[in-house]
Amino acid sequence: MVLRSVETVSFEHPAVQMTPYTGNSLPNIPEWSGLGQEIGQLLAGYISGSQSTQSVLASAQQDTIQAFKDSGRSK
């Protein structure tokens, strides 16, 4: 069943029910791999109570801006 599911996946229809989007739930940008990991660590800090909502959001925003600058996508 798993092999059949993997072999027949459709990015045009990524869910059993109709969706207003195509693809998967992750951003389709090269920077996402590293950025997703960084944001995940920030969220872990928030969940553990060691960081506030505002500090996590500010850090995630800064990390995103820097990732786009480093890639040349933004100035």
What would the DSSP string read from start to end of the chain?
A: -HHHHHHT--SSS-SSS--SS-S-SS--STTHHHHHHHHHHHHHHHHHTSS-HHHHHHHHHHHHHHHHHHHTS--
pLDDT digits (tens, 9 = 90+) for 1-20: 888 877 887 777 777 788 78
Q: Is the pTM of this model over 0.85?
A: no
Domain limits of the chain?
2-71
Residue 4 has a pLDDT of: 84
Q: Flag whether pLDDT at 55 surpasses 80.
A: yes
Residue 41 has a pLDDT of: 94
Residue 28 has a pLDDT of: 73
pLDDT digits (tens, 9 = 90+) for 17-43: 887 877 777 777 888 888 989 999 999
